[in-house]
Amino acid sequence: MPIFRDDDRTEPATPKRREEAREKGQVAKSREIPSAFIILGGTLVIYFAGHYMQNRLLITTQRFLSQSGELKLTDTNLYHLGIFVIRDCTLTLLPILISLIVIGILSNYFQTGLLLSTKPLEPDLNRINPIGGLKRIISLTAFVELFKSILKLLIIGFVSYKIIKSELPHLAILAAVPCHQIFAYTFKIAFKICFYTGLVLCVLSVFDYFYQRYEYEQNLKMTKQEVKEEFKEREGDPKIKGRIRRMQMEMVRKRMLQEVPKADVVITNPTHLAVALKYDYAKMVAPKVVAKGAGYLAQKIKEMAIQNGVVIVENKWLARTLYKTVEIDEYIPPMLYQAVAEILAYVYRLKERRVVG
């Protein structure tokens, strides 16, 4: 198998190549889309379900503290306490947990569709190859990922800085307000930071998705040699197919020449074409072409006819028409009935004279 450079891969990927890549779990997918939408979706869920979560947390805390002075530290009590804490914490976090799972699944589904593959989980020694690992570290893909990480940090930092800077005039009055107002104000600032960061990251993730599709298409490109080899695998080697075709044609010729002695007449033009006709009025609705050929094959048909006493009639127009319009083992069309009937009548009269003579 020849070794090709990357610039030799100029041909678009074939459907077979794409299907094989998908079976291996290789698809065009941006990891930024799930993370960005999880940040944005989680922030919105906390904002709208925050009151419910706050009440659940408050109820849990109150129940826990109200029983703390009376609770005896026994195995049974500790077990029930653990169940109580786990259950209430689960109910408190359930909206955000469900929403994040749904967002994660949908954000991947809309990118790749339904994809179930165990290939990425299979052991691969190339993954621990130090040379291969170094190539992955020092590559355009690694540089792009580093650039995206730095860009995300800068975006988050810039958004946080702008929001906090806009809120600085209000921070001084927090010392004179109750704790619950401080908490609500802090929550509002955190929500703004997460919301606007999520929006910007969602926009960037869309650009990243198109970049990932472009890179995916580039990686799937094939060389001309790979396309030829795949075509051979799918359609078969052209040399072998040609040999099979020649063998089939030879078998057809032999079978066709075996029918010439059974024919009633061979019509020629007279040198280039020959068409053998057979007619049995008790079994056939019309005369049938049992053999035809041009050039060398036409000569063979005429030789077979002479050897077996089949009448040869020269008719250029009829020979040419039959050769072009009627295939082997087909009946002649109605428009040729008259012309062929005249020739068959002549052949039958000729055979009668031979019998009488």
60-87 pLDDT, tens digit per residue, is 777 777 766 666 667 777 777 778 778 8
137 lies in the same domain as 216? yes
- The residue out of 216, 232, 248 marking a domain boundary is 232
Is 32 part of a structural domain of the chain?
Answer: yes
Give me the pLDDT at residue 2, please: 39
| 133 shares a domain with 186 | yes
193, 217, 232: which is the final residue of a domain? 232
Classify residue 249: in a domain, yes or no.
no
Residue 93 confidence (pLDDT): 84
The CA angle 149-155-160, to the nearest 5 degrees, is 130
- pLDDT at position 135, please? 64
Residue 352: domain span: 258-356
Residues 198 and 318 reside in one and the same domain:
no
106-116 pLDDT tens trace: 888 888 777 76
Is 342 a domain residue?
yes
Task: Judge whether 150 lies within some domain.
Answer: yes
Residue-level pLDDT at 69: 64
- Does residue 252 form part of some domain? no
21 and 143 together in one domain: yes
Per the prediction, the chain carries an average pLDDT of: 80
Between CA 330 and CA 337, with CA 331 as vertex, the angle to 5 degrees is 150
Higher-pLDDT residue of 235 and 20 is: 20
Task: Specify which of 89-93, 123-127, 134-138 reaches the highest per-range mean pLDDT.
Answer: 89-93
The dihedrals phi and psi of 111, each to the nearest 5 degrees, come to -85, -45
Between CA 73 and CA 67 the distance in angstroms is: 12
Q: What is the pLDDT of residue 126?
A: 61
Measured in residues, the chain has a length of: 357
- Whether the model pTM is above 0.95: no
Residues 43 and 129 in one domain: yes
Same domain for 228 and 279: no
237 domain-assigned: no
Residues 165 and 275 grouped into a single domain = no
Indicate whether 219 and 268 sit together in one domain. Answer: no
**247 found inside a domain:** no
CATH number at residue 331: 3.40.1690.10
How many domains does the chain divide into? 2
- 148 and 276 both lie in a single domain: no
Q: Could you tell me if 142 and 177 lie in one domain?
A: yes
Same domain as 262, residue 218: no
Mean pLDDT within 123-132? 62
- 204 in the same domain as 304: no
Residue 5 has pLDDT above 70, yes or no: no
- 166-202 pLDDT, tens per residue? 888 777 777 777 877 887 888 888 888 888 888 888 8
337 assigned to some structural domain: yes
pLDDT at 137: 65
Mean pLDDT, rounded, for 23-38: 83
Say whether pLDDT at 129 is over 70: no
Split at pLDDT 50, 70, 90, the class of 128 is low
